[in-house]
Chain A
Amino acid sequence: MSGSPNNLGAFRIKGAGRLTPARTARFTFDGKSYTAMEGDTVASALLAHGVHLVGRSFKYHRPRGILSAGPEEPNALLDVARDSARRQPNVRATVQEVFDGAKIASQNRWPSLAFDVGAVNNLLSPFFAAGFYYKTFMWPREAWSKLYEPIIRRAAGLGVAPKEEDPDHYANRFAHCDVLIAGAGVAGLTAALSAAATGAEVILVDEQPEVGGALHFDASTMIDGQNGYDWAQATAAKLAAMPNVRILTRTTVFGYYNHGFLGLAERVTDHLARPGRDLPRERLWQVRAKRVILATGAIERHMVFANNDRPGIMLASAARTFLNHHGVTVGRKVGVYTAHDSAYEAAFDLKRAGVTIAAIVDSRAKPGEAVVAEAKRLGIEVLTGHAVLDTSGRLRISSMKVARIGSTDSRKIAVDALIVSAGWTPSVHLFSQSRGKLRYDEAQQRFLPDIYAQDCVSVGACNGTDEIAALIDEAAAAGGGTVAIGGESRFAWTGGMIGAAEGAGPDTTVKAFVDFQHDVTAKDIRLAVREGMHSIEHIKRFTTNGMASDQGKLSNMHGLAIAAEMLDRPLPTVGLTTFRAPYTPVTYGTLVSHSRGDLFDPARQTPMHALQAAAGAAFEDVGNWKRAWYFPRRGEDMAVAVNRECRTVREVAGVFDASTLGKIEVVGPDAAKFLNLLYTNAWDTLKPGKSRYGIMTREDGFVYDDGVVGRLAEDRFHVTTTTGGAPRVLHHMEDYLQTEFPDLKVWLTSTTEQWAVIAVQGPKAREIIAPLVEGLDLSNEAFPHMSVAECTVMGVPARLFRMSFTGELGFEVNVPADYGAAVWTAIRERTEALGGCLYGTEAMHVLRAEKGYIIVGQDTDGTVTPDDAGLGWAVSKKKTDFVGIRGLKRPDLMRDGRKQLVGLLTNRPSDVLEEGAQIVADPNQPKPMTMLGHVTSAYWSENCGRSIAMALVAGGRARIGQTLYVPMQDRTIAVEVTDTVFFDKEGGRIHG
């Protein structure tokens, strides 16, 4: 799209700026359409059209304009949308580049920006002093959360959160380099040239779309005989051509963490009208840098005076950026209020561009001589030793009230913009994040890097080095190589002030804003001090100064100075609030990057997952695993399906996927000795070809895991663990093996995923698998319960366990995982032909509960000893050592009355208890009741024809036969305490 210069805005200055009118973009702001040039920020584009009013402040809803031209912007926060799902609140207009089709809206106003009902707060502001809410809204008691808080919450907040799921995607890249350079102004570019010359791998990062930093506004500095900005672009091109340099623009170093680790956020598509589908919206760079060079520059401060927040009041350097980079003037008749020479140069540039400079008001008696002389030459009135005492203008500044300092005579000067500068604050954010320590530079009233905590160096303005030649030398030296660059500035800058300016002192009640976004004024800070807040952190928290989304980039030094003055203490003794990451806000999506949807967390599937899904399985999450839960047939709900599965297993047989159980191969001559130490049981007596149920405790004696362990050979065990326990059990074993028993000759290997495990349980289990098994006699005599053997199943090497978690005749067929599907299919076909079925974890739970077999983590909870769980028999009495042997003997683990696992039968067989229900002896006692324990497992047992339950009950085994009570919300259920075996108490079925 193209347009004539006219509709690019009335405040474009012909011939100024670096943008080309050849490429334009249209956008809307609060419904009105505007044309911008490519390269415009939303701020420059709006200013080009004379739009200054862009937002409302947080607390008083005061009209606010554009204050800066960079990421420090506290006021111009807008809602920027590409479409309804791609809508972003709180976007800084000074950073966001315009793209064609952007829909932009102001925030925190109703019904409109120009007429905002919330502005009534401004009238009530005497009431809303800092911290007023701590002193009131307390009566009546419930009113805070019911009445006052909702009102406050609605009034607070800025943008409106997106309502739809974000359709964009984000990327992540880990990277390494020898030198990371943050900031690509003169200092950063020089350091990059120098470092690159040494052959070092260099990453040069800048948050702006182009390199150049302060050269965006500083049009008078010459480098190597070139205009500084042009030199920067040429230098970047030279660097980009070097194989050892990577330049990342539109990229913010947002965090400097431990050990040379930095977080970078790269904005990839937010400036594009039609981004490619593959492009991530943003890319997170996680960089490990051997060295870091900080060349982050400095941020200009505003002046703190009465009504210093009207639209049209802006930082001098921002006005200069808009003019020299974007070709936009911020007004036709511009006032200047400054305490620093740099603002003069803004006035000079504007003046030369044909803009009227109403006056330069300088609070200093003696500004730099050179700038004053130049002002005279250009015919600009300079009022030294003067102050701007107030401003007027409803939605935009219309005049400033100027007086000589100390005098009461004032005059009103009409202006349509006022540019201000109180000097420059070095950007020491990243340095501080790296945990470096700052020192206070009394002369220049600034904090500078002092003691470094990491391999890092600061160069240029962020290090207090402002003079161009010194800056280049410093940066070149930091790079480690040699470069010869000559730089020349027109004016050496002097001056600067922090704290409240004339007319906003302690004796006044004017609103002189320190923190614009949070509406913190100088008097708020004084009030905090008066109320006993003497630490800068207290002052910050009490006033919320520096806690807005700009994180105090403009306000912190002023706030500190005002507090110091009020406390009558030297400024550095008041302290400094912490510079916390991120430097500027970072999108959650960027931090999350790939970790969403399918990549949020791996969903582990067994080799037979697809087959089970095809068979109609419902799945449940167990840790990372997806496990088949039950297999509903047409018309079956969960209960019906589970009942059928349970019945079928006991009547015929069932097939179950047990692949997720953890498996560890323990190999070596000391394998049995090692297991003796790690399990409560004794293992040296276990013969090859046999298996045994084992209990593992931690040193504290509580049950940690359990599983069947098969001995394949003298020196080889196949250990199984719970599904969720596999990784931690292996870690626990490795810990003891490597650090407590390092002399044992044994090694551990995880084989969980090597084997697909197909459990076949039920009276016909043998009949089902027998034809598939080669090289093994499966008879009871040759292969009794708790046998294990290596054999061949369907032509592939297998491990076959005779074991049961159902109390039925059972086998677990282990085949190499890639064969799992084929063997499963064959077994399933044979099973179904005989009238059996597939069953899932729910039926497995019921079947094992019918037999009183525990599930670690359900029937135990980390406070249960083997004896509590009724597994005292599994604790060797002969061993002199195992992990847990001493913990088990502690007084509380030996005492009477511990909670023990028992069975519960409800008086009404149809009542199924709630898992987690609590048990009492007397249901009529008052609350708080004395609870005896809780229900750990409870099911309808189709095979028992009634409900069954297990519970941990204080002194439980001694209570067998007693009636206890389970008080529920609506009724109390009486239960009889029993042992834990509900089905086949004699245990004959397991032997076939």
Chain B
Amino acid sequence: MLLIHCPYCEHDRSELEFRWAGEAHIARPETIAEISDEAFAEYFFLRDNDKGVTYERWRHIHGCGRFFNAARDTVSDRFLMTYKAGLPKQPVADVAATEQTIETYEQTEGDAR
């Protein structure tokens, strides 16, 4: 169960109060009616699904109700930062996240090297 810092409540709260809302910083095209089928598929379906630092949206749905953004390492599940919706993508300290984090299962489980 994650512990998530809500940038509006300015407080760490249990994941039980939150809903994940997909990758962040995917802007809805302003002239969406005009874009090509390929561009629409790109906007609506294609995702980076990064291993390592990912930018994502959460909603504090059982709290302040606000959507906000987070940078999280999808290997360690550690949050690097959270910030309010509408702010541009915030740079995170170049942690080379995946190297510093511990892939417990993959690094210690059945390592047959």
Contacts and interface: CB of A to CB of B under 8 A. Distances in A.
Whether A and B touch (Cβ < 8 Å) is answered with yes
Interface of A: 257-261, 286, 288, 432, 435-438, 451, 453, 534-538, 540, 573-578, 699-700, 731, 734-735, 738-740, 742, 880-881, 885-887, 889-891
Interface-central residue, B40, B76, B104, by most chain A CB under 10 Å: B104
Nearest to A740: B28
Interface string B85-98: 11000000000000
Contact of B85 (A288, A700, A742): A742
Contacts of B2: 258-259
Contacts of B33: 880-881, 885-886, 889
B44 A534 contact: no
Contacts of A880: 33
B65 interface: yes
Nearest to B19: A731
A575 B77 CA distance: 24
A258 B77 contact: yes
A575 B1 contact: no
B27 to A, nearest CB: 8
Interface string B56-89: 0101010001110000000011000000011000
Contact of A734 (B14, B37, B59, B113): B59
Contacts of A891: 37
Interface of B: 1-3, 14, 19, 21, 28, 32-33, 35, 37, 40, 44, 57, 59, 61, 65-67, 76-77, 85-86, 101-102, 104-105, 107-113
A881 B112 contact: no
Contacts of B77: 258-259
A740 B85 CA distance: 10
Contacts of A577: 109-110
B76 to A, nearest CB: 7
B59 A453 contact: no
Contact of A453 (B66, B102, B112): B102
Nearest to B33: A885
Contacts of A887: 40, 44
B110 A699 contact: no
A677 to B, nearest CB: 10
Nearest to A432: B104
A535 B44 CA distance: 41
A299 to B, nearest CB: 19
Nearest to B109: A578
Contacts of B108: 432, 437-438, 575-576, 578
Contacts, number: 101
Contact of A742 (B59, B61, B86): B86
Nearest to B24: A739
A261 B3 contact: yes
Contacts of B59: 731, 734-735
B112 A536 contact: yes
A886 B40 contact: yes
A575 B109 contact: yes
Interface-central residue, A435, A534, A540, A891, by most chain B CB under 10 Å: A435
Interface-central residue, B14, B33, B65, B109, by most chain A CB under 10 Å: B109
B31 to A, nearest CB: 8
A578 B105 contact: yes
Interface-central residue, A259, A437, A537, A889, by most chain B CB under 10 Å: A259
Contacts of A731: 19, 59, 61
B66 to A, nearest CB: 7
Contacts of A734: 59, 65, 67
Closest 6 CB pairs of A and B: A537-B110, A535-B112, A575-B111, A259-B3, A435-B104, A535-B110
A575 B76 contact: no
24 contacts: A259-B3, A259-B77, A260-B3, A436-B102, A436-B104, A437-B104, A437-B108, A451-B102, A535-B110, A536-B111, A537-B109, A537-B110, A540-B110, A573-B111, A574-B111, A575-B108, A576-B109, A578-B105, A578-B109, A731-B19, A731-B61, A734-B59, A738-B85, A739-B85
Nearest to A879: B33
Contacts of A437: 102, 104, 107-108
Contacts of A538: 110, 112
A415 to B, nearest CB: 39
B104 A288 contact: no
A885 B33 CA distance: 6
A578 B19 contact: no
Contacts of B109: 537, 575-578
Nearest to B75: A435
A536 B85 contact: no
A102 B65 CA distance: 52
A314 B32 CA distance: 73
Nearest to B14: A288
B62 to A, nearest CB: 11
Given A258-B77, A578-B109, A886 B32 contact: yes
